[in-house]
Amino acid sequence: MKIKMILCGALIAAGTARAELPPGTIRAIQATNQNSVLMLSGALKFMCGRCNQVHDTTVEGPVTVVDTNGLLLTSSSVVQISLLTRKIEIRESTLKVKLPNGTELPVRVVLTDRDLDAVLLAPEKPSAVAAGTFKPVNWAATAKAHVLDDIVIVGRMDKNHNALVETAPAKINSVETKPRTVYGCAHLVSGDGEAVFNATGQLVGVGLGRQTIVAADELQDVIEQARHAAATATTTKEAP
């Protein structure tokens, strides 16, 4: 993860030189959205299938805030369970999202989508989430993009860099429309859940996979499924 982020940073820096967006625009997009892309960290212990094999994995990467309830979207490479094809049983989770005020809130995985390489998370205790805690990206004003459109990628540095928000300009390099819209972006070395905006600050999509941005509209269905899963799943009981 660290290496990927450094590479990403290097390439993003290279991309800056070719960018046509004025720095002021980029800074404005960062200012508007920096609290909508947070840092996820922690560890997962999970059972794989029914083989009674327990796996441990550490987790670190950016997550895009989907709604005010704290639904979060990231790439399965962040949670490192991309290879799992069936339901997984999380035995122990210490996943936490770092909020803009510096505090950390426990979250849990509620839905995985191996097709989109997406993982959706929600607060462990939704009732403990105060109003205004989460500031989502604006899903109501999404935009489509075209080849060579300017875009702004908003992500997070790793914890060695204090999870600082990182913002980089880039361009759309390819557009796949059938059967759904996915953008290619050569500068996005590893799509790890970064939010991607166009030059006017509208949400284009989310980085999910190598050089891949899944269009925002294509994510609506899985987001709805995740909302349902988060609402219907039994809350974990903790002993007093």
Partner 1 sequence: MQPNRRRFVGLLVFSAALLARLPAHAETPAISAAEVDRAVSRMYQSLVRIMVVMESPRSGRLEKNLGSGSGAIISEDGYIITNHHVAGRGKRLICRMYDGEEVESRLVATDPLTDIAIVQLDLSKRKNKAPLHVAQFGDSDQLRVGDVALAMGCPAGVSQSVTKGIISNTQLMLPSMFGGAGAFREEGEAIGSVVRWIGHDAVIYPGNSGGPLVNPAGEIIGINEIGLGSLGGAIPSNIAKDVAQQLIATGRVQRSWLGIEGQARPKNLGIERGVLVGGVLPDSPAAAAGLKAGDVLQKYDGVEVDARIPEDLPAFNRLLLSTPVGKQVELVTLRDGKEHKLTLTTRVRGKAQSNDVELKEWGMVARNLTLIAAIEWQRPNTNGVLVVSVGLASAVSDAKPAVNEGDVILEVAQAAVNSVADLRRVTDAQLKGIEGTKPVLVKFDHGKRQYLTVVKIGKEQKRPDVEPARKPGLSAELQALSPELAEALGLQGRSGALVTLVYRSHSAERAGFQKGDILLKFDGDPVKCERPEDVSDIYAQIRRYRVGRAVPCEILRGGQSQTLTLKLEEDLSTAEEHLPYKDDVFDLTIEKLTELERIHRDIPADLQGVKIAVVETGGWAQLAGLASGDILLAIDGTTTGDVATAEKRLKQAAHAKARRVVFFLKRGVHTLFAELEPDWTNGNGASKKNAP
Instruction: State which amino acid sits at residue 94.
Output: T
Q: Which is nearer to partner 1, 111 or 199 (CB)?
A: 111
H or E element: which one contains 63?
strand 53-65
CB of 101 to partner 1, least distance (A): 27
Torsion of CA 98, 29, 205, 135, to 10 degrees: 40
How many C-beta neighbours within 10 Å does residue 106 have? 14
Query: What would the x/- binding string for partner 1 be over residues 158 to 197, using CB under 8 A?
Result: --------------------xxx-----------------
Q: Would you give the distance in Å from CA 180 to the centre of its chain? A: 19
How many C-beta neighbours within 10 Å does residue 172 have? 22
Query: What would the x/- binding string for partner 1 be over residues 66 to 85, using CB under 8 A?
Result: -------------------x
Quick one: which segment of 67-75, 183-191, 198-206, 219-227 binds partner 1 (CB under 8 A)?
A: 219-227
Query: What would the x/- binding string for partner 1 be over residues 26 to 65, using CB under 8 A?
Result: -------------------x-x--x-x-x-----------
| Cα gap 218→234, rounded to integer Å | 28
Q: Which is nearer to partner 1, 113 or 158 (CB)?
A: 113
For 90-101, b/e burial (b = at least 16 CB within 10 A) is eeebebbbbbee
Single out the residue of 16, 43, 104, 108 in contact with partner 1 (rule: CB under 8 A). 108
Q: Would you give the distance in Å from CA 105 to the centre of its chain? A: 16
Using CB under 8 A as the binding rule, whether residue 237 contacts partner 1 is answered as: yes
Using CB under 8 A as the binding rule, whether residue 239 contacts partner 1 is answered as: yes
**DSSP string of 96-133, one letter each residue:** EEE-TTS-EEEEEEEEEETTTTEEEEEES-GGGPPTTS
Using CB under 8 A as the binding rule, whether residue 206 contacts partner 1 is answered as: no
Single out the residue of 66, 97, 109, 163 in contact with partner 1 (rule: CB under 8 A). 109
- 142: DSSP letter: B
Q: Which is nearer to partner 1, 5 or 109 (CB)?
A: 109
Q: Which residues of this protein are in contact with partner 1, per CB under 8 A?
A: 45, 47, 50, 52, 54, 85-93, 108-116, 118, 178-180, 221-222, 225-226, 229, 233-240
